Amino acid sequence: DVKVTQSSRYLVKRTGEKVFLECVQDMDHENMFWYRQDPGLGLRLIYFSYDVKMKEKGDIPEGYSVSREKKERFSLILESASTNQTSMYLCASRVLGVSYNEQFFGPGTRLTVL
């Protein structure tokens, strides 16, 4: 079974703080993704990484950055948290290849920015 874990289930931070969300997968997947999930808006892609040290912007990268120094770990960074970044954050990983496009999701981190 693929395991995707996220460092925290719930996180409360203050406006202006630097926030790190960590994601680890144990199946040697090349692709990793960060989404935010908001009611009525579904999942929106923030960033994805198709390999170590590679990253691509998704639909809503503003206010976020990412880091992928090791294949199994993909970090999402909020340089200066703002209240409109209060959301559920989902990490996902996927094995590369035409036949294997299933994304495996972590449990999510519910971030509240006060």
Q: Give me the residues that bind another protein (CB under 8 A), please.
A: 4, 31, 33, 35, 40-45, 48, 50, 56, 58, 90, 92, 101-103, 105-108
Rounded to a whole number of angstroms, the minimum distance from the CB of residue 13 to another protein is 23
CB 25 within 8 A of CB 104: yes
Rounded to a whole number of angstroms, the minimum distance from the CB of residue 28 to another protein is 17
| Residue 67, CA atoms < 13 Å, CB-side half-sphere | 9
Q: For residues 78 and 106, which CB has a smaller minimum distance to another protein in the complex?
A: 106
Among candidate residues 68, 54, 113, 66, the one with its CA nearest the CA of residue 88: 113
Rounded to a whole number of angstroms, the minimum distance from the CB of residue 16 to another protein is 30
